[in-house]
Amino acid sequence: MSAAVGERVEFEPVIGLEIHVQLATRTKMFCSCPLSFGEEPNTRTCPVCLGLPGALPVPNSEAVHFALMIALAFGCEIAPRALFHRKNYFYPDLPKGYQISQYDEPLGRHGRLGDVRIHRVHLEEDAAKLVHASSSGRIHGAEASIVDFNRGGTPLVEIVTEPDLRSPEQAAEFGRLLQATLRRLGVSDVNMEEGSLRIDANVSVRPAGSSELGTKTELKNMNSFRFLERGLAAEIERQRALLDAGEAVVQETLHFDPRSGALSPLRSKEEAHDYRYFPEPDLVPLVPTEEMIARARQALPELPAERAERFQRELGLAADAARLLAFRFELGDFFELALAAGDGVDARALANWTVNELAARVGDSDPAASPLTAEAFAQLVSLVQQRRISAAAGKDVLDRLVAAGGNPHAIVEELGLEMAASDELDTIVEEAIRENADAVAKIRAGKVQAVGAIVGAVMRATRGRADGAEVQRLVREKLGL
Amino acid sequence: MQELLALDAHALIAAIRRGELSSREVFDTYRERAASDPLGAYLWVAESGRPVDSAAPLAGVPVAVKDIFCVDGVPTTAASRILEGYVPPYTATVVELLEAAGAPLLGKTNMDEFAMGSSNENSAFGPVRNPWDRERVPGGSSGGSAAAVAGGLAPWAIGTDTGGSIRQPAALCGVVGLKPTYGACSRHGMIAFASSLDQAGPIARNVRDCALLLRHMVGRDPADATSVGLPEDVLVPQAERLDGVRLGVVAELMGEGIESGVRGCVERALALAEDLGASVEEVHLPHAPYAISAYYVLAPAEASANLARYDGVRYGLRVDGDDLTAMYENTRAAGFGAEVKRRIMLGTYALSSGYYDAYYATAQRVRTKIVEDFRAAFARVDLVVSPTSPTVAFRLGERVSDPLAMYLSDVCTVPMSLAGIPAISIPAGLSDGLPVGLQIAGPPFSENRVLEVAHALEQALAFEGVPREVEVKPA
């Protein structure tokens, strides 16, 4: 790589993601043990998921259905005859000494999500959970390791993208779209901290404009989008520095420590392996029938990317609001219910109230689960829109509605929040000017900002029933400013 | 007592139904003999049987079970040190079906370790002796089951067949053994050797007993994704004539390597078949000579993965080491016998990156060719016939240091295993005073046809000498 002295070569990162999604099925991939949610270790096990002699796997049809939904959501081609393979390696979290996975005939291929091409979608089983008795929590230097087989055999879908991502930010944004899409499908909890969504990234850099790929490294198991972004940024910077110094990138698997920001080589089962894949003789080929595919297709809801596009196109929402309503589908659903319920409510105002005010009040939970009804929400936004109550009063009413429900008109009446009529407001302003003679004196002396004291007095007197901007205008008018 | 031992399972069931015998008497008589087993045929013998309703299909006639079938609460080792002391928490479907039909568990029989062997000398718990000549092997890997039936230590038994492990010991011990169509019997609870080949099957004194036991073993099992059952019930055969039956003698399995005494018995049986009305012609299985090579790639490849679970982590033997890898190595070095290690290494090699296409993929293509060979043969004839084993029972120790010679013991049985088709071995006479087995195989799911023909031939052959009652000293 030659560059003129003092001229830094511009490098372009190339990123592909490998995503593991734990499916929210009732039972495990190849046995009838219920999935585990923090039960006592080794209480959700059977001869199959413990790898006892003579036990045989039987595929979970619900997992196949979910995997088909995912593959179809990405527009993948569905394999006419998908195969399960054995991926062989020894590790204590792998009771059979092999993982049942898919290899050269995955369930889905050649899909797309957003701007990113999906290379493949396949089904496999999760490993058990190892707990290492060491200060680092990692196996090296551990005195003992304990295996909890509750997680072992949980259905996983692995999604592999093409190397279409060009920045850490883009990778994280794609991750969020993927997470929102899978949540919308209802096939997984997609919780990164709990490990039901796990993202590994392959990253390399190359001179901008080059079409060849550089040597890649793999970043393992980053458990938030923020860490994914930071880990990728750190690794891209490391690779750039190596290349700038004329050194080569070595293909390896790295662990990113979000606390220190350090990248360290991962020396474990993930070292270079010959997995000796061969077709799983305990299972017959997985042949998705037309019925299975039709059923999976029917189960597909409108997906976040389509929905955001529709909100912008049909309702004229701003891109940010449309994205948030589409990604947090409960908010989006509530928004659409309210839009349908409140005749004439302005979609953009309703969207802003949903993403700014309602979202802040319900947190991560579903607004439909709160006492607030979609009708009441639409009425409230209409009241503000028609300037019958002030925005500030609207927020107070929303607090009450979210906490205890009710009718916004009744609350406005009960609290006397109806916007003051203009003759009433005239009187109150004049009164405030009389009672704040010192402020008026200051204003006359040139300290115009003293207007605030008078406006504040009016607002107090109207207990929020007046619009701040209107009061400001009136005060200034009457003082001849 | 001697009278009871002289009765086959059908006769025992009839006697129990008539009230001439109780199922307890039958159980206790065999239990006592099994407990004093002089052949090394048993690894575990039941203390007592559950009372069985005499109206149950099998009326309480107990069954000896190869130690490869898991039975809840009963030690199950597959004759390996690595599973010494292992007690499964569940029961194999086939054993459950037999118990439900009224055949209680008599004991667990000795075998080649993980069913890998043709002489039963690969058991970690000592060899089994052939009741016809105790200096000779009973065959394998279901050698304990075959010797127990032949020696009057069990009324009947079950075994497993991967490349001949039911048929070859049945032949060498002068009893009847049947390997069903792949998928006829559930493999759930059967310790895996080579999953795409393993099948459970009956070993009995005669074809009718064999059919009756099989009738209560087959069926699709939701716990085994590869099981399909049989399209019709297994019937106990009645036929005495073979009019219109077209038999094909497999040319490739009658030539070099087949002892002349064995060939003679097979030819005599074919002549009898013609007397009974069958037509006999020669058929070819052009790829049969490659079957052993393909088998010894595919079966070890599957075994190398199937035996990975014996790692010292969860159950069975553990030999500690300085780190995880050392523990794995120590455990497996101490736990597995030489033949098992050999096959794990062969299979691991065959699946390795860079060798997969040359070995595993090529062997799969040979397997497909053999399936096609049989399909072509069955377009011309109803059933094919061959010797079961190229030789009669050989001496203990004779082939232990020559794995290739040992592997060739299965030359006649492996093609049917690769094709997944049903095949039975029946005694066809004696050569040098030792039993010779005749193998009859048919298309997939043709068990009833195979049993009918085997039964008619068995009547004509009138083989004598089973049970080869061994004397036992009371424990």
Q: Which sequence spans correspond to the domains of chain A? A: 16-296, 304-415, 422-478
Whether residue B215 lies inside any domain: the answer is yes
| Averaged pLDDT of chain B | 96
Confidence of residue A266 (pLDDT cuts 50, 70, 90): confident
Which residue among A54, A86, A147 sits closest to B191, beta carbon to beta carbon? A54
Does the interface ipTM go beyond 0.90?
yes
CB-nearest to A88 from B194, B224, B308 is: B308
Residue B291 lies in a domain: no
Q: Is the pLDDT of residue A112 over 60?
A: yes
In a domain, B438, yes or no: no
pLDDT category of residue A138 using cuts at 50, 70 and 90: low
In this prediction, residues A74-103 reach a mean pLDDT of 97
Asked if residue B2 has pLDDT above 80, the reply is no
Chain B nearest C-alpha distance from A51 (Å): 7
Q: How far is B199 from chain A (nearest CA, A)?
A: 12
- Name the architecture of domain A422-478: Orthogonal Bundle (1.10)
Residue A269: pLDDT over 50: no
Any domain includes B304: no
Residue B473 annotated as catalytic:
no
Residues of chain A with C-beta less than 8 angstroms from the C-beta of B70: 52-54
- Is residue B170 in a domain? yes
With CB atoms and an 8 Å threshold, state whether B225 touches A57. yes
Q: How many domains does chain B have?
A: 1
Give the distance from residue B410's alpha carbon to the nearest chain A alpha carbon, in angstroms. Answer: 22
The answer as to whether B283 is a domain residue is no
Over residues A316-323, mean pLDDT: 94
pLDDT higher than threshold 50 for residue A1? no
Is any Cβ of chain B less than 8 angstroms from the Cβ of A50? yes
* Mean pLDDT of the region A80-101: 97
Read off the CATH number of the domain in which B173 is found. 3.90.1300.10
Owning domain of residue B175: 2-239+447-461
Instruction: Say what the pLDDT of residue A383 is.
Output: 92
Percent of chain A with pLDDT over 90: 70
pLDDT digits (tens, 9 = 90+) for A384-427: 988 888 888 899 999 999 999 999 999 998 888 887 766 778 88
Q: Which residue of B has its CA nearest to A145?
A: B324
Tens of pLDDT, residues A218-246: 998 788 999 999 999 999 999 999 999 99
In chain B, the residue whose alpha carbon lies closest to the alpha carbon of A59 is B225
At B204 the pLDDT is: 98
**Is the pLDDT at B147 greater than 90, yes or no?**
yes
Average pLDDT, chain A: 91
d(CA B152, CA B139): 17
Amino acid letter, residue B99: E
Is B296 a member of any domain? no
pLDDT reported for residue A3: 44
Which one of B118, B119, B165, B386 is the catalytic residue? B165
List, for residues B311-348, the tens digit of each pLDDT value. Answer: 999 999 999 999 999 999 999 999 999 999 999 999 99
For residue B214, tell me if it sits in a domain. yes
